[in-house]
Amino acid sequence: MAIWDGKRFAPEVTAVASPTGENLVAVILDKTCFYAEQGGQIGDVGRLVDLSSQAEFEVVDSQKSGDFILHIGSMSKGTLREGTELVPAVDYVRRFKLAQHHTGTHLLNFALREVLIRKLRSGGKASANGDKREDTNGIRICESCLNEKELEDGEDIQQKGSLVEVKRLRFDYAGEKPLENEDIIAVENVVKDCIAQARPVHYKEVPLEQAMKIPGLRAVFGEVYPDPVRVVSVGEDIESLVALADSSQPETPFASIELCGGTHLHNASQLSDFCILSEESVAKGVRRVVAAAGDAAFEARKELEELEVRKLEKQMMHETGDSP
């Protein structure tokens, strides 16, 4: 264990009351279960505990610096010295909420593409239901989905950025036109169908060249990926997808498939709920969707319903002449 104070490696760190946060340092371990901020997902928080002295270091952020993970925080109790053996304790309740929103981001990416491209191809009508069947290996094939090679210029929904937080997710994509109400409903329904069907989440490291051949794979343009790379699929197991890619006539599976190293759920049903909170233009040719999953989605719906009730009450008072 090493301690970095921002300027040098320090021999020790002691609990000091400092409301300004000036006592923040970074603890570096030889191995850790903390997820550092990357891929749009914010870093883990939690504690590092010295079981021998009961000293505790409160981690308020996790960042990556080269090959090292920086556990950023301050001492909440006692003193830590260089070389001390620590037990990491991630805040897994918070991690679960991040996983909900990261898996939700993947499903949103998938749903946007399915709905908007199908709408474009069908002459302007949004739909959450494509034509699906199972192939001989049991993989769900979307007959109305498009293989990458079939897409024409301007048709693909390219990801431009994302942010995964505890209470919401943010997804930026290439697009000029705003989402209409029917688009939003259709996109939400695609995600909700995956939740209702309890679609399993699979992840596995695959050679990069092999992964890039998987039909329907989503990758961020310009991103440099490691080799091997981690493939995350909501709906189909990775081995079947790789086999599908190696077939003579690969078809596009009805599944969210991305290259990703973030934390995810084990099953789409763990999202519980999903709702789109807002949609807007953030730059020329770039649109942003903000959404929530799990308890955050439930709370957002509750707030919206309460707002609608208050609006209705004001309208009724105005019509009857009663003062508020």
**CA triplet 185, 188, 194: central angle to 5 degrees?**
140
Share of the chain above pLDDT 90, in %: 67
Please write the tens of the pLDDT for every residue from 36-69.
999 999 999 999 999 999 999 999 999 999 999 9
Q: How confident is the model at residue 222 (pLDDT cuts 50, 70, 90)?
A: confident
Q: How confident is the model at residue 260 (pLDDT cuts 50, 70, 90)?
A: very high
* pLDDT above 80 for 291: yes
Q: For residue 151, what pLDDT is reported?
A: 46
Cα 71 to Cα 139: distance, rounded to the nearest angstrom: 42
* pLDDT above 80 for 143: no
* pLDDT above 90 for 152: no
Please answer whether residues 159 and 220 qualify as being in contact, where contact means their C-beta atoms are separated by less than 8 angstroms: yes
Please write the tens of the pLDDT for every residue from 194-212.
999 999 999 999 999 999 9
Could you tell me the domains of the chain? 2-90 (2.40.30), 95-125+134-140+151-309 (3.30.980.10)
Supply the pTM of this predicted model: 0.87
Q: For residue 250, what pLDDT is reported?
A: 67
Arithmetic mean of pLDDT, 1-16: 89
Residue of higher predicted confidence among 143 and 71: 71
Cα 114 to Cα 55: distance, rounded to the nearest angstrom: 52
Ramachandran class of 285: left when φ > 0, alpha when ψ lies in -120 to 50, beta otherwise: left
**What residues contact 261, with CB distance under 8 A and at least 6 apart?**
38, 39, 230
Q: What is the DSSP letter of 196?
A: H
Arithmetic mean of pLDDT, 126-133: 54
